[in-house]
């Protein structure tokens, strides 16, 4: 159901959050032209039920909070933002149908969201062919922003704010090999597009260092016994387990490692920060490390304002998946600024504005200074833009003090 945002529970957190997010221009509407027009409809899709839902719900709430903040100060081009939300249930075919429906039936001018790589690869062609900009908020498959490049396509309408898997793989391998001095590494990945492609990115990152995994284990969703695969990894001499999957199955790995009394590090993709991993693995999650775009700590005023707005909007302090929430929030701010700069609701003009965004946007993850270009649709392009997180006492914190210091300065 479409949602327009003037929710009372968000309003108490608005002044600080708006000032932080929108900088010196926070007192002015985003180019308030054409006041009183119909709402600007933005498609939002993701898994709001099922195993991936902690990511989807976190992302959706981040988008809702940002839309509420923008609407409270007059909207965009004098018009209110209206979110048209759809639950793709992490299903590729359903995601493709939703994208088609949003494009052809709902009158959206742009889209945000998508958590699962498979859903992104199956659905984003609908946005591309309709020339509707889509900012991928959470899905990390490296191919996502590279599907629609010249010469086959003159213009690419797919953007992203999350850290792609090739970038994460570099950070994971650096943690294992450079920082910990480990060389005999096992890769455990699920059978989804996300897991398979992520495993390939890990393999490539290892190859660049002259290494290869001692064993690669593939598992199905809802796998309840990782014991045999872990025994094979131990027999192969693995010194650490590198993971690419989602929370429930990752918890099974951690719990079965404990049952085998095999104490080796778990280092994996950002999904090790999911509440479904931390809660299901309990004490066995302790020490797991993962790349993070955002760690739930008020390391600067913008992040503090976002966390206050989250608690005001949801009634709870804990974010199930903090990076997903932050990325959803930032994607909405970037899109709103692009629509304002374009002074148009036409997809071509919004895409052009995103590729040449002239006004800085202070998000949760970073302050975005011309984050995209015509040939670059990723906001995150370097390992130094990503922090290493670690599970301690049931929450994700900075693994390294220098990462926290860097976050405080950004």
In angstroms, rounded to a whole number, what is the distance separating the alpha carbons of residues 95 and 114? Answer: 8
Q: Which two tokens stand for residue 154?
A: 């003159």
If one counts every other C-beta atom within 10 angstroms of the C-beta of residue 51, the result is 18
| Environment class of 78 (CB within 10 Å of its CB; exposed 0-12, middle 13-18, buried 19+) | middle
At residue 185, does pLDDT exceed 60?
yes
Report yes or no: 268 and 290 within 8 Å, Cβ to Cβ. yes
Residue 379 or residue 28, greater confidence: 379
Instruction: Name the nearest CA neighbour of 195 among 244, 142, 139, 253.
Output: 244
- CA atoms in the 13 A half-sphere facing the CB of 249: 23
Determine the pLDDT at residue 9.
43
Residues whose CB is less than 8 angstroms from the CB of residue 114 and which lie 6 or more positions away in sequence, other chains included: 45, 46, 88, 95, 120, 123, 124, 134, 136, 137, 138, 139
- CA atoms in the 13 A half-sphere facing the CB of 388: 20
**252-260 mean pLDDT:** 98
Residue 9 or residue 348, greater confidence: 348
In angstroms, rounded to a whole number, what is the distance separating the alpha carbons of residues 266 and 309? Answer: 33
Place of tokens 């909070």: 65
pLDDT tier, 26 (very low <50, low <70, confident <90, very high otherwise): very low
In angstroms, rounded to a whole number, what is the distance separating the alpha carbons of residues 208 and 188? Answer: 19
pLDDT tier, 51 (very low <50, low <70, confident <90, very high otherwise): confident
Residues, the chain, total? 410
pLDDT tier, 35 (very low <50, low <70, confident <90, very high otherwise): low
Determine the pLDDT at residue 58.
97
Report pTM: 0.91
Report yes or no: 265 and 366 within 8 Å, Cβ to Cβ. no
At residue 168, does pLDDT exceed 90?
yes
At residue 264, does pLDDT exceed 70?
yes
pLDDT tier, 37 (very low <50, low <70, confident <90, very high otherwise): confident
Determine the pLDDT at residue 357.
98
**186-195 mean pLDDT:** 95
pLDDT tier, 246 (very low <50, low <70, confident <90, very high otherwise): confident
How open is the CA angle 134-135-138, to the nearest 5 degrees? Answer: 125
Determine the pLDDT at residue 17.
53
At residue 300, does pLDDT exceed 70?
yes
At residue 11, does pLDDT exceed 60?
no
In angstroms, rounded to a whole number, what is the distance separating the alpha carbons of residues 401 and 406? Answer: 9
Domains and CATH numbers, the chain: 2-163+296-379 (3.40.50.2300), 165-292+388-409 (3.40.50.2300)
Peptide bond into 120 cis (omega under 30): no
Determine the pLDDT at residue 311.
97
pLDDT tier, 177 (very low <50, low <70, confident <90, very high otherwise): very high
Determine the pLDDT at residue 12.
41
**108-112 mean pLDDT:** 98
**145-163 mean pLDDT:** 97
In angstroms, rounded to a whole number, what is the distance separating the alpha carbons of residues 142 and 117? Answer: 9
The three state secondary structure string of the chain is CEEECCCHHHHCCHHHHHHHHHHHHHHCCECCCCCCCCCEEEEEEECCCCCCHHHHHHHHHHHHHHHHHHHHCCCECCECEEEEEEECCCCHHHHHHHHHHHHHCCCCCEEEECCCHHHHHHHHHHHHHHCCCEEECCCCCCCHHHCCCCCCCCCCCEEECCCCHHHHHHHHHHHHHHHCCCCCEEEEEECCHHHHHHHHHHHHHHHCCCCCCCEEEEECCCCCCCHHHHHHHHHCCCCEEEEECCHHHHHHHHHHHHHCCCCCCEEECHHHHCHHHHHHHHHHHCCCEEEECCCCCCCCHHHHHHHHHHHHHHCCCCCCCHHHHHHHHHHHHHHHHHHHHHCCCCHHHHHHHHCCCCCCEECCCCEECCCCECCECECCCCHHHCEEEEEECCEEEECCHHHHHHHHHC
At residue 325, does pLDDT exceed 90?
yes
What percentage of the chain has pLDDT greater than the value 90?
89
Determine the pLDDT at residue 409.
87
**317-341 mean pLDDT:** 97
CA end-to-end span of the chain: 37
Give me the chain's average pLDDT, please: 92
Determine the pLDDT at residue 90.
96
Q: Which of 12-26, 218-232, 352-366 has the lowest average pLDDT?
A: 12-26
Which residues, in sequence order, are bridge partners of residue 376? Answer: 373
pLDDT tier, 30 (very low <50, low <70, confident <90, very high otherwise): low
pLDDT tier, 28 (very low <50, low <70, confident <90, very high otherwise): very low
Residues whose CB is less than 8 angstroms from the CB of residue 398 and which lie 6 or more positions away in sequence, other chains included: 295, 297, 387, 388, 389, 390, 404, 407
**79-87 mean pLDDT:** 98
Query: For the chain, how long is the longest CA-to-CA vector?
Result: 68
Q: Which two tokens stand for residue 311?
A: 């608690």
**126-145 mean pLDDT:** 97
Each residue of 192-217: pLDDT tens digit?
Answer: 999 999 999 999 999 999 999 999 99
At residue 29, does pLDDT exceed 50?
no
């Amino acid at each position: 159901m479409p949602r327009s945002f003037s929710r009372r529970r968000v309003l108490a957190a608005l002044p600080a959050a708006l000032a932080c997010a929108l900088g010196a221009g926070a007192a002015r509407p985003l180019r308030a032209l054409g006041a009183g027009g119909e709402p600007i409809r933005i498609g939002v899709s993701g898994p709001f039920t099922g195993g991936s839902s902690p990511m989807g719900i976190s992302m959706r709430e981040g988008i809702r909070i940002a839309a509420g903040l923008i609407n409270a100060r007059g909207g965009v081009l004098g018009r209110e933002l209206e979110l048209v939300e759809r639950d793709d249930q992490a299903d590729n075919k359903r995601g493709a149908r939703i994208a088609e429906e949003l494009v052809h039936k709902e009158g959206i001018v742009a889209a945000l969201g998508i958590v699962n790589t498979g859903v992104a690869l199956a659905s984003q062609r609908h946005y591309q062919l309709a020339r509707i900009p889509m900012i991928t908020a959470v899905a990390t498959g490296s191919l996502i922003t590279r599907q629609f490049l010249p010469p086959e396509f003159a213009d690419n309408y797919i953007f992203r704010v999350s850290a792609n898997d090739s970038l994460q793989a570099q950070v994971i391998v650096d943690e294992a090999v450079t920082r910990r001095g480990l060389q005999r590494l096992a890769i455990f990945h699920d059978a989804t597009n996300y897991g398979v492609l992520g495993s390939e990115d890990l393999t490539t990152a290892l190859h660049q260092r002259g290494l290869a995994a001692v064993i690669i284990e593939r598992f199905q969703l809802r796998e309840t016994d990782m014991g045999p695969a872990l025994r094979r990894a131990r027999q192969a001499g693995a010194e650490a387990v590198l993971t690419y999957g989602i929370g429930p199955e990752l918890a099974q790995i951690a719990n079965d490692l404990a049952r085998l009394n095999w104490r080796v590090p778990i280092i994996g993709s950002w999904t090790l920060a999911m509440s479904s991993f931390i809660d299901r693995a309990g004490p066995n999650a302790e020490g797991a490390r993962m790349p993070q775009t955002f760690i739930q700590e008020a390391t600067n005023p913008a992040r503090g304002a976002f966390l206050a707005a989250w608690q005001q909007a949801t009634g709870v302090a804990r974010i199930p998946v903090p990076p997903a929430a932050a990325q959803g929030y930032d994607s909405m701010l970037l899109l709103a600024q692009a629509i304002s700069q374009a002074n148009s609701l036409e997809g071509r003009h919004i895409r052009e504005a995103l590729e040449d965004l002239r006004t800085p946007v202070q998000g949760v993850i970073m302050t975005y200074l011309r984050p995209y270009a015509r040939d670059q649709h990723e906001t995150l392009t370097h390992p130094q833009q990503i922090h290493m997180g670690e599970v301690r006492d049931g929450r994700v914190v900075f693994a390294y003090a220098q990462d926290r210091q860097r976050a405080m300065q950004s």
